[in-house]
Each structure stands twice: as C-alpha cells, then as structure tokens.
Amino acid sequence: MLHLTLRQLQIFAAVARCGSFSKASKELHLTQPAVSMQVKQLEESLGLPLLEHLGKRISLTDAGHELQHTSVQVMQKLVSLEHNLDALQGLQRGSLTVGVVSTASSFAIRLISQFRSMHPDIRITLNVVNRETLLQHIAENTVDLALMGQPPAHLELEHRVFMENPLVVIAPTQHPLAKAQKIPLTVIANEPFVGREPGSGTRMATEAFFQAHGLSWQVAMEMNKNEAIKLAVEAGLGLGVVSRHTVTLELAAKRICTLDVEGFPILRAWHLVNRKTRTLSLAARAFAEFVVNESPRLGRML
C-alpha cells in the first residue's frame, strides 16, 4: 500500500516540470530544502529513486516518468471533481486558473479585476509566465484558460480571437528618429534592438516580419520581461518591439515614444485558448464569455 500525499504529488510534479528544485521552490512559494525533503520522503515511500542529478539539472528516472504521468492524471481528476462540485453551486462559488503570457499581463489583470467585481466569490489563480512555460502548462492541462498570441499547432485546442495585438517600435523620446515620419524599414534594420528571448511570440513575429522584407533584425540585448525592455529602451540601450497595449502608461508619461516605421504596426491578435479535452467549469465558461464580450471595449481604452 503506497502512502503518498496530494501535496507530495504536487511538489514532485512541479520539480519534474521545472527541471530543478530552485525553480520549483519559487513556483510553489516554498524553500528549496522543503521541496527537497518532500521529494526525498516520496522516494523513501516508493523505495525507488525518482530523479537523477546532472550538475545543476535533474532528469527523471523511469520511476520518475511513471509518477509524473500519474501525478498529471490525478491533478486533472481533482480539477474535474472541483468543477463538477462548482457546477452544483452555480456561479456563487468556484475556482478558475488562468495562464497569461507576460506581454498580456496588464490588460489581463484589468479583465480579471472587472470579472471579480461581478463574481467576488470565485477564486482566481493567475499565472503570468513566458510563452514557453505557458505552452507547457497548456500541454499538461493545468490551466483552465490561457490568454496568448498565436496558439501552437501541435496541441488540440479551442481558441478564439478576442482582441487585436498591434506590435509597435518604441524608442527613447530623445532618439534622432523620434519625430521622423514614414521611416524606411532599411533604416530601422541598422538600429540596435532590445529583444525578447528566442521562442517568445513577439520575437518570432518580429523576426518573421524582417525576414519577409529580406532584412535581418539586429538584437543587441535579450531580455525575458517586457518591463525590462521598456526600461532598457528608455535608458537608450536600443529600440524595442512590443505590444501597443503594454506601453500605454509610458507613452502618456512621455518616457518613451513610438516610431513611425513603414510596415508597422505588425498586426497580430490575442487568443483565448483551452484544451479541447478539458471540461470547463461554470466559472471558466463565464470568464471566457466575459473576455470575448468585454475585450473590444478595453482595447479602445488602451
């Protein structure tokens, strides 16, 4: 008879997903020794090693892969149970987990705030992560809904466009091109850029745009947060390409400006995404409808 706790399964699933104790401890808001202790107790209960240490990285043993697969199934069953119980009580209660790419965090928080004012008893968990991590959450079916750019083609997903996502070129207000009009793309291509990390939606869209025009994109620095890119651009470290929705406050305060570049903005779209195999709770369905109905109004305000 195995003696496992749900908490141990949650912790092990996080370690397996993150690939390190330190990253898992940050995600779980626990100390690294606490995470290590729970995994060690789990290995002692099973009588088998679950992890192999390769320097600072860890990999799963065969037993570890088996437990990871089972952990995901258990979590999905518990989520399904919670949704069924929520449905019995209507929208007076319930829970909702939303995954959001960091680029969309500002307007996602506004949407959630408005939704919460209408349904104050619904418990909402918001996970703001980069695209790569969000894709992992979607693949593991650990989020009810996701707000992101282009959905991946390799997963069976339901997705709806809920708002346009224009990508613009930003610069320091004192930049020599700040007041220029119809700047040729060939001129911008020679400027240094502060870009997102490889794999991000904004990075892929920008690279594809320059390649389609036979040009290369000069990325002088890489950063994995939009906030860092905005600060770097303001400090004069290079130009940036970001969603127009993420720089509303900075533009109003005249901390940065947008450049009038030929071909920009790059028009993309925000998508509301969920796994086809996931049964959405009443709370998730209500939030999905709210996002689709309210986002156009929010977009006009941004």
Structure confidence by residue, pLDDT tens digits, 65-107: 888 888 888 887 777 777 667 665 665 567 889 999 988 888 8
DSSP 283: H
Cα separation, 300 vs 280, in Å, equals: 29
Superfamily of domain 165-267: Periplasmic binding protein-like II (3.40.190.10)
pLDDT at position 88, please?
A: 54
Q: Span 6-70: which CATH code?
A: 1.10.10.10
State the residue for tokens 């092990």: 12
| Cα→Cα distances 142→42, 53, 153, 235, 264, Å | 22, 26, 18, 38, 36
Question: How far does CA 78 lie from the centroid of its chain?
Answer: 23
Do the Cβ atoms of 240 and 229 come closer than 8 Å? Answer: yes
The stretch 30-55 carries a mean pLDDT of 87
Q: What is the predicted pLDDT for the residue at 258?
A: 96
What pLDDT score does 90 carry?
60
The reply to whether domains 74-163+269-301 and 165-267 share a CATH topology is yes
Residue 271 above 60 pLDDT? yes
Region of 111 on the Ramachandran plot (φ > 0 left; ψ -120 to 50 alpha; else beta)? alpha
Sign of CA pseudo-dihedral 55, 41, 134, 276 = positive
- Residue 151, amino acid: P
User: Please, which pLDDT band fits residue 296 given cuts at 50, 70 and 90?
Assistant: confident
Q: What is the DSSP string of 114-148?
A: HHHHH-TTSEEEEEEE-HHHHHHHHHTT--SEEEE
Higher pLDDT, 184 or 5: 184
Domain boundaries, the chain: 6-70, 74-163+269-301, 165-267
**Of the given ranges (154-158, 165-169, 239-243), which has the lowest mean pLDDT?**
154-158
Instruction: Please tell me the distance from the alpha carbon of residue 23 to that of residue 257, in angstroms, as a whole number.
Output: 36
Contact 272, 292 (CB under 8 A): yes
Q: How far apart (Å, rounded) are the C-alpha atoms in residues 112 and 263?
A: 33
Rounded to two decimals, the pTM is 0.65
CATH class of residue range 74-163+269-301: alpha beta
Which DSSP helix (H) or strand (E) runs through 166? strand 157-172
